[in-house]
C-alpha cells in the first residue's frame, strides 16, 4: 500500500494527482523550482522539496534530484504526471532501483512505445493498421511529416510540403527533440491531411488484462497542439469505434502494457479507415473527459495498478472494452486548454492579477451536469517564461454534446482573467463555430480558419460597450482623485466646444461629454458609473460591466480590464502626449515576449529580405524564429545567444522600414504540454 507519493511534475497535473491522493488518504510530496515556489500545487502538498534553479534541465528533468527528493521526504512512490520525465524509461528504472513504487508502465513498454518506429512495427505485428513513409521519398509522396522518435504530442514535429525543405525540417525537428527529450532522433511518415485525431484510453493491470475506456476526439489542433478534446469522439461510426478499441487492446496486450496509456489513431472519415499514430505511455492532458463520461478516476486506477490490485470488470482474455456498468449513461464531455497567449498564439507571461473561473467542481468528479476546472494557477500568481503556458483545463459534462458545449461557452464567458492575455476569446469562437458545432472538424481545420482579431479591436456590439465603459471608468477615476472642484461633474465645461476623447490601443476613440447631469455618450444611456463599474443602456437593453485597474500610476499609460456578460476586454490608454525618450530607432525589432536568445542567424551589415530569420528566441518551452518585417540592412544586433530579454526590448535594427515594430515570429515548437 502506498503511504506517501511524490509527483515529479508541476502545475495542474500535480494538483490533479494530489486531489486523488487526498481522497485515498495518501500523503503528498511536491518538488518545485524556484520560479514555482509560490504556486498552488506547492502549498497543497503535505511536503515540498526545492529543486534549485528554474530551467527544466536543472530541475524537473533531473532524475537524480527528483529521486533524491523522494527519499529525503520519505515518499514510497513517484507519479510522473505528463511531460518532463513521464515517458523516460531511465527515470522509471531509477525510481524502482531506489526501492520506490513507479506509478506508470514498465520501462520496457515505455521504450518500445517511445521509439515511434519500433512502436509501428509492434502495431503492425498486432494487426493494427499503420502508415510507413518510403525510404527515398519523391514529390509524389508529399506532404510528409517529420516526428520526434523519443517524444510525443507534437514536439519536434514538422509538415514538409516540398522536398527541398525536408533536410532543413529534419534538422530543426531534431534540435527541438534534443532540447525537449534529450534525444534528437526523428523519423518521417506520410501526412494525411483533413483526417481526424481519435484516441483510445487503455488501463491494464499486472495480470495481462485490462480495459479500453472509449474514444476521445482531439482533432481541433493548432500546429499539432491539441486545443479542444471531447469524449466520446462525435459522429464516429459505432463499428469504427469498436475496431479502434479492439486495435488499441491488441497493441497494449502485445507490448505487455501495465497502467494507464493512450493509443492514438488518424481517422479518415471518407474511407472510414484509421491508422496507428503512437502510444503515449502516461496519463494524457485530456484524460478528464474520459473520467467525466465513465465516472472513473484514472489516477485512482493508476495507483491501484501500481499497488498490484485487479482492475474492476476485467476479463481473462486480454484488454477488452469496459463493461456497460462503467460507461452507462455516459453523456458527453468537452475540454479546452486555457493558455496565456495572445490572438497570434504568442505566449505571454506576467502576473495573473485576477483568475476566477466559474466551476461546480475543481479537480474532481462531477455529480451531475456541470463544469470542472483543473487549474495550475490562482489569482496573484506569476506566469513565468520557463515552462508551459497552459493555465488551466476547463471542461463541461452534460447528457448531450450540444448541452456540454453550451455550458462550457458560458463558463468561459463568465471567467474573470486579468493581468495576462489568454486565448479565452479564441476558445469561445472555436466552440461556437458552426463547423465545430456540427462535428465536422479535422486536424487542419483550425489552421485554415483566419486568425481572429484580438478583442476588443473587433467591431462587435459587446466589445464596443466594453470600450465605452472603460473610457467612462477612467473619467470617473479622474474625478475621484481630484482634490479641488470635487463637486463639479467630471469633464464639465461651462461653454463646451467639443467632446472629451479617450482612446485605447487598437480601438476607435470614445467621445463623451461631462454635463451637470453626468457623463453623456451619443447612442448610450449612462445609468451608473464609478472607477470600477459601469451600467450602460443601448436601445433599451442595460449591460453591467466591471473594471479592474492593471496600471494606474502617474506617468504610465493607464490600463484596465473590463468584464461584461459576453466578453472581457484589456484596454490600454493611448496617452495624449508621448515622451521622446521612449522612442526607439526606426527599423528596430522588438522582442514580442520575454525569453532567451538561443541563436543569432545574421550579423551586423548583412542584407536581409522580408521574412528572413534574424534570430531565434526560446520562451515557455517553445522556439520562435524572429524574422525581418521588411527588406533592408541589419545595422545593429543588440543580443547574443544566451541573452535574457524582456517583452519590447530591442533585439536588432533593420534599416529600410519605416517604423519600429515588434518582430515577426514563427512558433516552431508545436506542443506545449506533450499531451
The C-alpha atoms of residue 262 and residue 82 are separated, in whole angstroms, by 12
Q: What torsion, rounded to 10 degrees, do the Cα atoms 414, 290, 121, 250 define? A: -170
Beta bridge pairs of residue 226? 221
Active site residue 659: no
Report the candidate in 293, 371, 289 with the shortest Cα–Cα distance to residue 331. 293
Helix, strand, coil share of the chain (percent; to 5): 25, 30, 40
The C-alpha atoms of residue 320 and residue 325 are separated, in whole angstroms, by 14
User: Angle at the Cα of 174 (from 169 to 179), degrees rounded to 5?
Assistant: 130
For residue 271, cis peptide bond before it (omega within 30 degrees of 0): no
Query: What are the grid coordinates assigned to 141, written together?
Result: 509522396
Indicate the pairing of strand 196-204 with strand 273-280.
unpaired
Given 176, 278, 559, 573, the catalytic residue: 278
C-beta separation of 431 from 425 below 8 A? no
Query: What are the grid coordinates assigned to 236, written together?
Result: 464516429
At residue 421, the 3 state secondary structure works out as coil
C-beta separation of 227 from 242 below 8 A? no
User: Does an H or E element contain 465, and which?
Assistant: helix 461-481
Report the candidate in 57, 51, 121 with the shortest Cα–Cα distance to residue 88. 57
118, exposed or middle or buried, with CB in 10 Å at 0-12, 13-18, 19+? middle
The C-alpha atoms of residue 482 and residue 490 are separated, in whole angstroms, by 10
484, exposed or middle or buried, with CB in 10 Å at 0-12, 13-18, 19+? exposed
The strand order across the sheet containing 533-538 reads: 525-530, 533-538, 541-551, 559-563, 568-572
Half-sphere exposure of 51 (CA within 13 A, CB side): 28
Catalytic residues: 278
Amino acid at each position: 500500500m502506498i503511504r506517501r507519493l511524490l509527483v515529479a511534475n508541476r502545475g495542474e497535473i500535480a494538483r490533479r494527482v494530489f486531489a486523488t491522493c487526498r481522497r485515498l488518504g495518501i500523503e503528498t510530496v511536491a518538488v518545485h523550482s524556484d520560479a514555482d515556489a509560490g504556486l498552488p500545487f506547492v502549498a497543497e502538498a503535505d511536503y515540498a522539496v526545492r529543486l534549485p534553479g528554474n530551467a527544466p534541465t536543472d530541475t524537473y528533468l533531473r532524475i537524480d534530484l527528483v529521486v533524491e527528493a523522494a527519499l529525503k521526504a520519505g515518499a514510497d512512490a513517484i507519479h510522473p504526471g505528463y511531460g518532463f520525465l513521464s515517458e523516460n524509461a531511465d527515470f522509471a528504472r531509477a525510481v524502482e532501483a531506489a526501492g520506490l513504487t513507479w506509478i506508470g508502465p514498465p520501462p520496457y513498454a515505455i521504450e518500445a512505445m517511445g521509439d515511434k518506429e519500433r512502436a509501428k512495427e509492434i502495431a503492425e505485428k498486432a494487426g493494427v493498421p499503420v502508415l510507413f513513409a518510403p525510404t527515398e521519398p519523391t514529390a509524389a509522396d508529399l506532404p510528409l511529416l517529420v516526428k520526434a522518435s523519443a517524444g510525443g504530442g507534437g514536439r519536434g514535429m514538422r509538415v514538409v510540403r516540398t522536398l527541398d525543405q525536408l533536410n532543413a525540417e529534419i534538422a530543426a525537428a531534431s534540435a527541438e527533440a534534443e532540447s525537449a527529450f534529450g534525444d534528437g532522433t526523428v523519423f518521417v511518415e506520410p501526412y494525411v491531411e483533413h483526417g481526424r485525431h481519435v484516441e483510445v484510453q487503455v488501463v491494464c493491470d499486472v495480470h495481462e488484462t485490462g480495459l479500453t475506456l472509449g474514444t476521445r476526439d482531439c482533432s481541433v489542433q493548432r500546429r499539432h497542439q491539441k486545443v479542444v478534446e471531447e469524449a466520446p469522439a462525435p459522429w464516429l461510426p459505432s463499428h469504427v469505434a469498436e475496431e479502434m478499441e479492439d486495435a488499441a487492446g491488441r497493441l497494449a496486450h502485445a507490448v505487455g502494457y501495465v497502467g494507464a496509456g493512450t493509443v492514438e489513431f488518424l481517422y479518415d472519415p471518407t474511407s472510414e479507415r484509421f491508422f496507428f499514430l503512437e502510444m503515449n505511455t502516461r496519463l494524457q492532458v485530456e484524460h478528464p473527459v474520459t473520467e467525466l463520461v465513465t465516472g472513473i478516476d484514472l489516477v485512482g486506477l493508476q495507483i491501484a495498478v501500481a499497488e498490484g490490485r485487479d482492475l474492476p470488470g476485467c476479463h481473462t482474455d486480454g484488454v477488452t472494452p469496459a463493461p456497460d456498468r462503467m460507461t452507462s449513461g455516459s453523456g458527453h464531455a468537452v475540454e479546452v486548454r486555457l493558455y496565456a497567449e495572445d490572438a497570434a498564439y504568442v505566449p505571454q507571461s506576467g502576473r495573473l492579477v485576477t483568475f476566477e473561473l466559474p466551476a461546480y467542481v475543481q479537480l474532481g468528479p462531477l455529480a451531475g451536469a456541470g463544469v470542472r476546472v483543473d487549474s495550475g494557477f490562482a489569482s496573484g500568481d506569476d506566469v513565468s517564461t520557463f515552462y508551459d503556458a497552459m493555465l488551466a483545463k476547463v471542461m463541461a459534462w452534460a447528457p448531450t454534446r450540444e448541452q456540454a458545449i453550451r455550458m462550457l461557452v458560458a463558463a468561459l464567458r463568465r471567467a474573470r482573467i486579468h493581468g495576462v492575455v489568454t486565448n479565452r476569446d479564441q476558445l469561445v469562437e472555436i466552440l461556437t463555430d458552426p463547423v465545430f458545432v456540427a462535428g465536422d472538424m479535422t486536424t487542419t481545420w483550425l489552421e485554415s480558419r483566419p486568425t481572429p482579431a484580438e478583442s476588443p479591436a473587433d467591431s462587435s456590439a459587446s466589445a464596443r460597450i466594453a470600450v465605452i465603459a472603460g473610457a467612462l471608468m477612467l473619467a470617473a477615476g479622474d474625478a475621484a482623485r481630484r482634490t479641488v472642484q470635487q463637486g463639479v461633474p467630471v469633464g464639465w465645461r461651462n461653454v463646451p466646444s467639443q467632446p472629451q476623447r479617450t482612446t485605447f490601443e487598437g480601438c476607435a476613440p470614445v467621445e463623451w461629454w461631462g454635463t451637470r447631469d453626468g457623463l453623456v455618450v451619443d447612442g448610450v444611456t449612462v445609468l451608473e458609473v464609478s472607477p470600477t463599474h459601469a451600467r450602460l443602456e443601448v436601445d433599451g437593453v442595460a449591460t453591467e460591466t466591471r473594471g479592474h485597474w492593471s496600471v494606474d500610476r502617474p506617468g504610465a499609460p493607464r490600463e484596465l480590464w473590463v468584464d461584461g456578460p459576453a466578453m472581457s476586454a484589456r484596454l490600454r490608454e493611448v496617452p495624449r502626449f508621448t515622451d521622446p525618450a521612449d522612442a526607439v530607432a526606426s527599423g528596430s525589432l522588438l522582442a514580442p515576449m520575454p525569453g532567451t536568445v538561443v541563436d543569432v542567424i545574421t550579423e551586423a551589415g548583412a542584407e536581409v529580405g522580408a521574412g528572413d530569420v534574424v534570430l531565434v528566441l526560446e520562451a515557455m518551452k517553445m522556439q520562435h524564429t524572429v524574422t525581418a518585417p521588411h527588406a533592408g540592412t541589419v545595422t545593429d544586433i543588440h543580443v547574443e545567444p544566451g541573452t535574457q530579454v524582456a517583452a519590447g526590448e530591442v533585439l536588432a535594427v533593420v534599416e529600410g522600414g519605416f517604423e519600429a515594430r515588434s518582430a515577426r515570429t514563427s512558433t516552431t515548437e508545436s506542443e506545449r504540454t506533450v499531451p
